[in-house]
Amino acid sequence: MDDTVPKKQTVDNRLADGHERHRQIDIPAPSPLEQKILETLRAEPITPRPEQAPATQPPETPAPAVTQADPIPARMLNEFVYCQRLFYYEYVEGIFVESADTLRGSAIHQKVDSGSGALPDAKVDGKAEKPAEPEVIHSRSVQLSSERLGVIAKMDLVEVRSAPAPSADDLFSMTVREVVPVDYKAGAPREGDAGNELWDTDKMQLGLQALILRDNGYTCNEGVIYYRTTKQRVRLPITPELEDWVIKKIAEARIVMTGPIPAPLVDSPKCVRCSLAPVCLPDETRLLHLRPAEPAPTSEAPVRRLIAARDETRPLYLNSQGFRVGCKNEVLQVKDKEKLVEEVRIRDVSHVALFGNIQITTQAIQALCEQDVPVTYFSMGGWFYGITRGHELKNVFLRMEQFRLARDPITCLALARQFVHGKIRNHRTMLMRNHVEPPESVILKLKRAAEDALEATSIEELLGIEGAAASLYFQNFNGMIKAEDAASAAQESQTAPLPTFNFSTRNRRPPTDPVNALLSLSYSMLSKDCTLACLAIGFDPFIGFYHQPRFGRPALGLDLMEEFRPLVAESSVLNCINNRIVTENDFVRAGNAVNLSPAGRKRFFQAYEQRMSSLLTHPVFDYKVSYRRALELQARLLGKTLTGEIAAYIPLLTR
């Protein structure tokens, strides 16, 4: 089957009940061998054959928890016909992403879904009063299942037609009701040579509904699709050839359920409008699977940007002490005592970050959990110590692989090498870009350290390489700070000595100078974002590969954070200092500890989020994404590395 799409296909063509796709298929006549198999399938329950699963992943990939006894929703078999990988994500792993198309399809079906689901009996007793004329009963939102097929379907509309009995004198005759399933689609039919035709997904869905109705005793000879765009009804005869094809697809779907995830489609136009494209990453997965040693894409096979460049939602940072967060009609209300300070729609928020003494009501937490918006908790000084989130995450197979491979020293070392290599390479790039005059010896030593990281034979050796490279980097960090003159002018105008931006060495817990205070806060915020990215994708953020598990420490979040430290955290600090976004007056001292004032922290949050939202050209895939999207992308690539879809993890290295 090819991946071409019709010329006039629009958004409306793609989704009917929220996330159904439409394609055309030519149903071939079964061969004698296939006919024998199909007769066996119709006579016996459909059983999977694991030995025929496609060999796209290592055999140790865990089998899905979906059992043969589970009835498959007809809508999922619709997805299977459209894309087997999409079927696996949505049905086996339980991953679903809303989009404008899915929301539009759900809105269209609100009237249909409001039906009672009642359906008249399949047969009418001949003694009962028979209608003089044929009558049509409309039953909406009918849900039926077939034990023979192992499928369950929720039908938009079933037209029940009752005709007079063949012989009025036969008091014991039975009138058999004829039913016609009618499904509503948001798009338009396919334009064929003989007129309007159905897409292959529509044929699958109507065929399933008709067979289920037959298995429940009804007479069903055809189905109808109503296309809302063109306001046309297109009929589908239920032929033996269609029944054979439907049964064959059910058997294939059950085989896919028991095996590894199917390979992504190749340069398919289906991927462009698919809401799961940012999860599937078809082009990226194929590029890294086929060419793991060559990070640069080739001109003859460009990678399409199927992931959005930026995230439209924004985090909500609250650091004014005494604020209280409540909720009313899916709107967060931030109050200072009884005074309303701000209102924010939950749908516009990616997460809520609370610093210090800020209260949040139970109603607000419940509303945020329902919308899968996490709440993160920080100390007044910026220490990240907690998170609250809902239970939207259903994928456990990735975590099973994470737990298994976290015990494998070879896997841990291979991933740790890449994390440290990426960090040192990006540190070297930072010095070359921003240092007033980067020492050549330091640049060469960092280059050598990055190469040594890829050859390390143990985690302990890797820790030594990383520590030495970090010490060398921070010894020259002060050369990237270019605010000495402004600091001196501010110092002369004050009677009391102010902390300066002179940096000599890295220190923390507590930081003793403004630069270290900014670095600690930025690292804390970045670790929060990395932890949220791990949770969103399906990881357990506390099980790492380079950072070893420790109570209360998001080890995997810190692993992912390594390559982003110079790209996001340290870049945000240098931007704030060199552009005077934060000045010496924004710091307070308590003993030896130095911390940002609330006003300075607010401006730093804005600078940090501006950095996360800024675009970069991805060095591997050669398209533009924000740093926040790049963080999500790297987390997904790490997951695909663990499940065997790509050969090796490649860190994000700036050019």
pLDDT at 631 over 50: yes
Other beta carbons within 10 Å of 329: 8
Nearest to 199 by CA among 230, 155, 234: 234
Predicted local distance difference test score (pLDDT) of residue 118: 62
Predicted local distance difference test score (pLDDT) of residue 8: 35
Q: CA-CA distance, 547 to 462, in Å (whole number)?
A: 11
Name the DSSP letter for residue 217: T
Predicted local distance difference test score (pLDDT) of residue 217: 83
Q: How confident is the model at residue 123 (pLDDT cuts 50, 70, 90)?
A: low
Of 597 and 79, more confident = 79
Q: Which residues contact 192 (CB under 8 A, 6 or more apart)?
A: 24
Of 46 and 363, more confident = 363
pLDDT at 3 over 60: no
Model pTM? Answer: 0.77
Class of domain 314-388 as given by CATH: alpha beta
Highest mean pLDDT among 12-26, 158-172, 205-219: 205-219
What secondary structure does DSSP assign to 393-414, as a single string?
A: ----HHHHHHHHHHT-HHHHHH
Q: CA-CA distance, 292 to 363, in Å (whole number)?
A: 48
Angle at 450 between CA 446 and CA 456, to 5 degrees: 130
Q: Looking up tokens 């199917």, which residue turns up?
A: 262
Q: What SS3 state is found at 98?
A: coil
Query: Is 250:211 a contact under the CB 8 Å cutoff?
Result: no
Which architecture, in CATH terms, is 397-642?
A: Up-down Bundle (1.20)
Q: How confident is the model at residue 347 (pLDDT cuts 50, 70, 90)?
A: confident
Q: Looking up tokens 């924000």, which residue turns up?
A: 626
Q: Which ranges in 110-150 belong to alpha helices (H)?
A: 110-113
Predicted local distance difference test score (pLDDT) of residue 637: 93
What secondary structure does DSSP assign to 146-192, as a single string?
A: ETTTTEEEEEEEEEEEE---S-TT-TT--EEPEEEEEEEESS--EEE
Encoding tokens for residue 249? 């697809």
Q: How confident is the model at residue 191 (pLDDT cuts 50, 70, 90)?
A: confident
Side-chain-side CA neighbours of 133 within 13 Å: the count stands at 2
pLDDT at 42 over 60: no
Q: How do strand 359-360 and strand 323-328 relate by DSSP bridges?
A: parallel
Of 285 and 113, more confident = 285
Name the DSSP letter for residue 556: H
Encoding tokens for residue 177? 């009701």
Encoding tokens for residue 355? 């610093």
What crossing angle do the helices spanning 627-642 and 598-613 adopt, rounded to 10°? Answer: 60
User: 473: alpha, beta or left, given left = phi > 0 and alpha = psi -120 to 50?
Assistant: alpha
The distance from CA 577 to its chain's CA centroid, rounded to whole angstroms, is: 35
Helical (H) or strand (E) element with 332: strand 331-336
Q: CA-CA distance, 457 to 155, in Å (whole number)?
A: 60
Query: Is 374:388 a contact under the CB 8 Å cutoff?
Result: yes
Max Cα-Cα span within the chain: 114
**Cα distance between the two ends of the chain:** 40
Query: Bridge-partner residues for 137, per DSSP?
Result: 160
Q: Which residues contact 174 (CB under 8 A, 6 or more apart)?
A: 123, 124, 125, 126, 165
Highest mean pLDDT among 25-29, 57-61, 437-441, 605-609: 605-609
Find the mean pLDDT for residues 242-264: 89
Q: CA-CA distance, 101 to 121, in Å (whole number)?
A: 36
Angle at 368 between CA 367 and CA 372, to 5 degrees: 120
Q: How do strand 384-388 and strand 222-227 relate by DSSP bridges?
A: unpaired
Nearest to 583 by CA among 486, 508, 507: 486
Q: How confident is the model at residue 358 (pLDDT cuts 50, 70, 90)?
A: confident
CATH annotation of 11-277:
3.90.320
Alpha-carbon distances, residue 120 vs 102, 116, 130, 178 (angstroms): 31, 12, 14, 11
Domain spans in the chain, listed from the N-terminal domain onward = 11-277, 314-388, 397-642
Of 30 and 368, more confident = 368
pLDDT at 39 over 80: no
Find the mean pLDDT for residues 294-311: 65
Report CA Rg, the chain. 30
Helical (H) or strand (E) element with 251: helix 240-258
The reply to whether domains 11-277 and 397-642 share a CATH topology is no
Nearest to 182 by CA among 202, 162, 166: 202
